[in-house]
Amino acid sequence: MTGRETILDVRGLRVRFRTLDGTVEAVKGIDIHVGAGETVAVVGESGSGKSQTMMAAMRLLASNGEASGTVDYRGRNLLELGKSDLNKVRGSKISMIFQEPMTSLDPLYTIGNQLIEPIRRHRGLGAAEARKEALKLLRLVRIPDPERRMKSYPYEMSGGQRQRVMIAMALANDPDILIADEPTTALDVTIQGEILTLLAELQQKLGMAIVFITHDLGIVRRFADRVYVMRSGEVVEEGETEALFSAPQHDYTKMLLAAEPTGSKDPPPPNAPVLLEGRNVEVTFRIGGGFLAGEPMLLRAVDRISVRLKRRQTIGIVGESGSGKSTLGRALLRLLPSDGVIRFDDKDISHADRQAMRPLRRELQLVFQDPFGSLSPRMTVGQVVTEGLLVHEPELSGRQRDQRAVEALREVGIDPNARNRYPHEFSGGQRQRIAIARAMILKPKVVVLDEPTSALDRSVQKQIVDLLRQLQAEHDLSYLFISHDLSVVRAMADYIIVMRQGKIVEEGPTEAIFDHPQDTYTQTLMAAAIDSTRFRASA
């Protein structure tokens, strides 16, 4: 990056948070610099301090946080700027987009209103001129029908469109630097690609520098000129993107680069018995309706889908959000009312009521995506894991249950001595292990895994994938693996179903789907996930 004028120079930045457990240092004296027009990526896993670094620079830390060091923007230390001077820089010279497109816009105001506000504030334009500017910006980020969209509320737009609006707001005043904090993490893969392409194009057009905060090395490789790798509040390695990827120096960087889940699963023997079968499964939701409100709207979330899950098989169900993949998983476990035939272990369970399903529940388990919300915060880990035993093996004594908890936790790699602790004392990956232990303790035959790795860091994902594969081999399990993450699915599943809008668009053995996708939608999906061409030409 020689020859570029440094416009943002972070030196000796420390960020501390005062918490009930004392002071926690999230960022431990780091140096980062950004040149004009340059794209810098800050990578690291959750808790590495990468977001807090930029939050501190923008003075957006939570009220219990404080920053020291210097953040020099064109000769001025942002950390010491007065409030009104600071607000002249924020949103104007340096702007920011965030990870959460669903919640980062004010739900109570129209898009137009929210776009116009920063334009008027920073440029002092009149209402009519600001409106024109806002329209221009919506066109710039390629929102269709911008006139109408000005009057829309955020809830009326998709995640991808909201992120486009966020970008429009951030670019409203022609910034020097755009800080993008995981801007695509919450979006579907195909939308991710669109947003990144848009950002790259806008950068070429407008020439701002971009600081890209992400955990996704694929994005870094395709996007950034230079990379900082952060771990536990420190920069462990920095360098030009190509150099860093081809010859990583630090062990942590090497580990990150190797963290992509690998391997593949062999299909079950052809004579393996079919355990769980769905024929023409259909789930319909009724929306609205009621007294004087007219006919309800019918939404077909799962549209006549047939699935045959054999013993020791893993079927990967992929699709974007709203495709009906989770609904299908739940319907097959009879957790949702559905039409069609569902058979488990050669018994028709399509019409089994709660009473009849109860003894089968232990053999049909479910693991959820969110390791934070799915464990009761008021129960110890031991209680969480053994709760199912109370229902399914009530004859066990307290001591026997405890013994089972110890075994189950050991099996998923959690220290059994920690069983009297509460879920909040564990990390995301550990919690997901606990959730898996809760399912495994019942010795199930079929486990539906609903995005079990999506909320986890890459290196942790890999561990969970390994764990799941190991458990499958040891206990002859069958998995229904629901995910939008194709690289994880590829490592887990031997058969893949691609879903879109409640229907199967393509299905087949994993390798066939990955190597020769037939359907155009599958092809787009694969391209978005695996393509490694750069979004922008190297500057």
Partner 1 sequence: MLLYVFRRLLTAIPTLFVIVTLAFFLIRVAPGGPFNQERGLSPEIKANLEAQFGLNDPLWVQYLHYLKNLAHGDFGPSYNLPDFTVGELFAKGLPISVQLGASALVLALLLGSLLGTVAALNQNKAGDYSVIALATAGSTIPTFVIAPIIQLVFGLTWRLLPIGGWGDGAFVNKIGPVLTLALPQIAIVARLMRGSMIESLHSHHIRTARALGLSDWSVVVKHALRGAVLPIVSFTGPAAAALLTGSIIVETIFAIPGVGRYFVDAALNRDYTLVMGTVVVIAIFTIVFNLIVDIMYAVVDPRVRYD
Residues that bind partner 1 (CB under 8 A): 58, 60, 62-63, 83, 86-92, 95-96, 98, 100, 103-110, 117-118, 121-122, 153, 155, 166, 169-170, 291-293
Rounded to a whole number of angstroms, the minimum distance from the CB of residue 481 to partner 1 is 31
Closer to partner 1 by CB, 51 or 432: give it.
51
CA dihedral 426, 427, 432, 437 (to 10 degrees): -30
Rounded to a whole number of angstroms, the minimum distance from the CB of residue 175 to partner 1 is 10
Rounded to the nearest angstrom, the gap between the alpha carbon of residue 417 and the centroid of all alpha carbons in its chain is: 31
Whole-angstrom distance, CA of residue 332 vs CA of residue 480 = 10
> Which CA distances in Å does 51 have to 59, 78, 212, 214, 256?
12, 17, 10, 9, 18
For tokens 């399903």, name the residue. Answer: 357
Amino acid at 397: S
Closer to partner 1 by CB, 170 or 349: give it.
170
Rounded to a whole number of angstroms, the minimum distance from the CB of residue 510 to partner 1 is 37
Closest-CA residue to 79 (of 69, 87, 89, 93)? 69
Whole-angstrom distance, CA of residue 91 vs CA of residue 116 = 12
**Could you give the 3-state DSSP secondary structure of residue 499?**
strand
Closer to partner 1 by CB, 288 or 337: give it.
288
Q: Which residues of 191-221 are buried (b: 16+ CB within 10 A; e: fewer)?
A: bbbbbbebbbebbeeeebbbbbbbbbbbbbb
Q: What angle do CA 107, 110, 115 make, to 5 degrees?
A: 105
- Which residue spans within 352-473 are E strands per DSSP? 364-367, 446-450
Rounded to a whole number of angstroms, the minimum distance from the CB of residue 143 to partner 1 is 17
Rounded to a whole number of angstroms, the minimum distance from the CB of residue 458 to partner 1 is 24
Rounded to a whole number of angstroms, the minimum distance from the CB of residue 65 to partner 1 is 13
Closer to partner 1 by CB, 173 or 249: give it.
173
**Could you give the 3-state DSSP secondary structure of residue 249?**
coil
Rounded to a whole number of angstroms, the minimum distance from the CB of residue 366 to partner 1 is 29
The length of the chain, given as a count of residues: 539
Sign of CA dihedral 517, 520, 521, 524: positive
| CB 434, CB 458: distance < 8 Å | no
Closer to partner 1 by CB, 60 or 396: give it.
60
Closer to partner 1 by CB, 103 or 520: give it.
103
Closer to partner 1 by CB, 171 or 468: give it.
171
Closer to partner 1 by CB, 108 or 356: give it.
108
Rounded to a whole number of angstroms, the minimum distance from the CB of residue 60 to partner 1 is 6
Token pair belonging to 393: 């093996």
